[in-house]
Amino acid sequence: MTKIVEPDKQTNIFRRPSSEYGIWSWITTVDHKKIGIMYGYAAFFFLLIGGLEALFLRIQLAQPDNNFLSAAEYNAMFTMHGTTMVFLAIMPISAAFFNYLLPLQIGARDVAFPRLNALSFWIWTFGGIFLYSTFIFGTAGAPEGGYLAEEVGWLGNAPNGGWFGYQPNAGFKYSPGTAMDYWAIGLQILGISSLVSAFNFIVTILNMRTKGMRFMRMPVFTWMTFAVAFLLAFSLPIIAIALFYVTFDRQFGTTFFLTEGGGDPVLWQHLFWLFGHPEVYILILPAFGIVSEILPTFSRKPLFGYPAIVFAGFGIAFIGFGVWAHHMFASAISPVAQAGFGISTMVIAVPTGVKIFNWLGTIWGGKLNLKTPMLFALGFIGMFVIGGLSGVTHSIVPADTQQTDTYYIVAHFHYVLFGGAMFGIFGGLYYWFPKVWGRMYNETLGQIHFWTMLIGFNLTFGPMHWLGLQGQIRRTWVYAEETNLGFWNLIVSIGAFIIALSILIFMANWMYSKRKGEIAPFDPWDARTIEWTIPSPTPVWNFSKAPEVKSLDDFWHAKYGEDEEGRAVRRESADDLLLQLEEEGLNPEEEIILPNPSYFPFVLSSGLPFIGYAVIYKSIPLALIGVVLLLVGAFGWATEPLEEEFNTAEEEE
């Protein structure tokens, strides 16, 4: 663009922000790396809150008939624990990985739509704040006509209908007050954020791959990101509609889920799980991807059966849409549906098994470097296998009618989502730590973290299998002493505090190493994928020149060949290559044009909570504020010029 009409008449308000440091640089950034880091920190913050809520639950359940929390508080805590961990912790931590790594793995300078990327982060942030503002503004109480012995404290004024929000219990009649509205609208806002990023990632992967990065040369983490983006794009509209129904039922007197008005509460279960089961794979597939990066690197072997792992991932994602009613085996569904969904649930175990066996094939015969990321990846396999096997016992429909709604299920999905997803995530956090901060984490602390977490995790969730089979139901505020469940509940509670300790060790390591850790080389792990060809920490421009990829695991093959036996042999040219990369990485030859920062994603997103409050409190002024912010954001976004246009204009003057 060379000619701008009367640039001096442009008002400064539309000028792009230019801070490179300080708070404004973060608020206005469109850099995928900064957004990734913000996602990571914010999600970790919510992970800590969700963990605190879990500790409250475990103190209450440490002994029978305990009264540490009131029923209202307990119900609010388990609802917020589930909601937080799913929507505000694991999903956004995965988003942190997608954001930071996806462009680096495909050799791009940023995602396809950088401002949209910032938008999805800010919508998510405002959604989280909105949801949590329920503790300040929300109200909850007994169902219409019911009585409470004491008033509900602030802790109990949070949503209390469960993260699954089963109707009609979560409807206005049985959950009066505003807390469940905060939940429904909060999730709606968070859903928008996920939809936005899903499309952004899909377009990025389709269009922004560097030269030679064919589909079957993409790292598995990128593949899994791709699968997750499709899962989000297809499953979130379902929950969005269901949440609109709930909000309409609660606010505007519709009766989608009310029997009295011809509605059907079982419909909510179908809609929720039609979203909810793909959601499980949204949570676990990123960890599959991370582990598939760590295992080959630390085994010094290629991933065993790369195409099988990729297709298994997509197979899981696809079949994941056909198993939802296994969450409802005890609900009002027919034997035919039970049999059908039981079988489809068994079917999904097959591609999952393929992945596990291929990971074992990857480490088999390797030269395993048991550093912290590798420990977490191996721990992931061990724990996920347990979760997978207990999952198969749920597909046995009659057995599931005994297990459903008990702690057996709680144990199962924590083995999948904590032992699986979170172990994978921690492995990833250690693995890419040097790339993000340019320093090494402390290996000793990392190993201590792994072992305390593995022990604490198994102590917490292992006995839960047993408790469930012994009849302890889920979401139970108290259990009777006569059920003889006290001993193992106490052990479980102790385990929960060991997990908390391990998290503290992780945080200490993180904060110390980020500042004082050893300076990291750009390829500390002798890794395989192209994000390790650039300096640590990643420069703002990522790649000094667009890399060209000739094969899967391109960087590895640039460093290593194979001898007659098929063993890896370091190429003589490898050292020169590394020197050259180091030199090039920090000194781009040509001028690099990066996407400009923008105020407007932040402005646009800030309107959404106001609209949410407006719906709850039926307030026109709040609605106006929200809509104005939204429109200003959208208009400013659409009209803001590129920074170069200003520069060109100023030069011309």
Partner 1 sequence: MSKKSLFRYRNFSIFSLLFLSACIENAPMDSLSPAGPYARTIDDLFWLTFWIAVGVFFIVQGALVFAVFYFRDMPGKPEPKQIHGNNILELTWTIIPVLILAAIAVPTVRTVFDLAREPENALKVEVIGHQWWFEYKYPDYGITTANVLVIPEDTPVRLEMWSNDVLHNYWVPKLNGKRYLVPGQKTYLNLHADSAEEFWAQCGEYCGLSHSKMRGRVISLSKKDFENWVNNEKLDAQKELPEGSLAAEGQQVYLNAGCTQCHVINGVWDVQGDRIAPNLTHFANRNVLAGASLDNNKENLTKWLANPPEVKPGTFMPNLELSEKEIEALIAYLGTLK
Residues annotated as catalytic are 81, 110, 163, 193-194, 277, 279, 281, 292, 326-327, 352, 355, 474
Kindly state whether residue 339 participates in binding partner 1, applying the rule CB under 8 A. Answer: yes
- How far apart (Å, rounded) are the C-alpha atoms in residues 304 and 416? 22
Rounded to whole angstroms, how far apart are CA atoms 57 and 410? Answer: 13
Q: Which residues, numbered 546-565, are part of the site for partner 1 (CB under 8 A)?
A: 562, 565
Per-residue mark of binding to partner 1, 291-330 (x: CB under 8 A): --------xxxx-xxxxx---------------------x
What is the CA angle 312-415-50, rounded to 5? 115
Closest by CA to 124, choosing from 101, 154, 157, 99, is 99
Q: Which is nearer to partner 1, 143 or 438 (CB)?
A: 143
Taking every pair of Cα atoms in the chain, the longest distance, rounded to a whole number of angstroms, is 86
Question: H or E segment at 291?
Answer: helix 265-299
Q: Is residue 403 involved in binding partner 1 (CB under 8 A)?
A: yes
- Which residues touch 645 (CB under 8 Å, ≥6 apart)? 1, 4, 7
Q: Cis (ω within 30 of 0) for the bond into 537?
A: yes
Stretch that binds partner 1, among 10-18, 123-131, 272-280, 380-388 (CB under 8 A): 380-388
Looking at beta carbons only, is 563 or 590 nearer to partner 1?
A: 563
- Distance of closest approach, residue 554 Cβ to partner 1, in angstroms: 15
Considering only the stretches 100-108, 127-135, 161-169, 622-630, report the one whose residues sit in contact with partner 1 under the rule CB under 8 A.
Answer: 161-169
Interface residue with partner 1, options 191, 342, 387, 446 (CB under 8 A): 342
Instruction: Return d(Cα 105, Cα 412) in angstroms, integer.
Output: 33
Q: 586: part of which helix (H) or strand (E)?
A: helix 574-586
Least spacing, CB of residue 497 vs partner 1, in Å = 18
Binding mask of the shown chain, residues 68 to 107, with x at each position contacting partner 1 by CB under 8 A: --xxx--x--------------------------------
Query: Which residues are 248's β-sheet partners?
Result: none
Q: Shortest Cβ distance from residue 373 to partner 1 (Å)?
A: 14
Q: What's the 3-state SS for 425-476?
A: HHHHHHHHHHHHHCECCCHHHHHHHHHHHHHHHHHHHHHHHHHHHCCCECCC
363 lies in the site for partner 1, by CB under 8 A: yes
Does residue 175 interact with partner 1 by CB under 8 A?
yes
Q: Would you count residue 393 as binding partner 1 (CB under 8 A)?
A: yes
Q: Is there binding between residue 501 and partner 1 (CB under 8 A)?
A: no
Nearer to partner 1, 104 or 485 (CB): 485
Separation of alpha carbons 106 and 104, rounded Å: 6
**Rounded distance, CA 403 to CA 468, Å?**
7
- Decide: is 522 part of the binding site for partner 1 (CB under 8 A): no
- Is 346 one of the binding residues for partner 1 (CB under 8 A)? yes
Interaction residues for partner 1, span 187-246 (CB under 8 A): none
Residue 634 contacts partner 1 per CB under 8 A: no
Reduced to 3 states (helix: H, G, I; strand: E, B; else coil), residue 594 is coil
Q: Is 382 in the site for partner 1 (CB under 8 A)?
A: yes
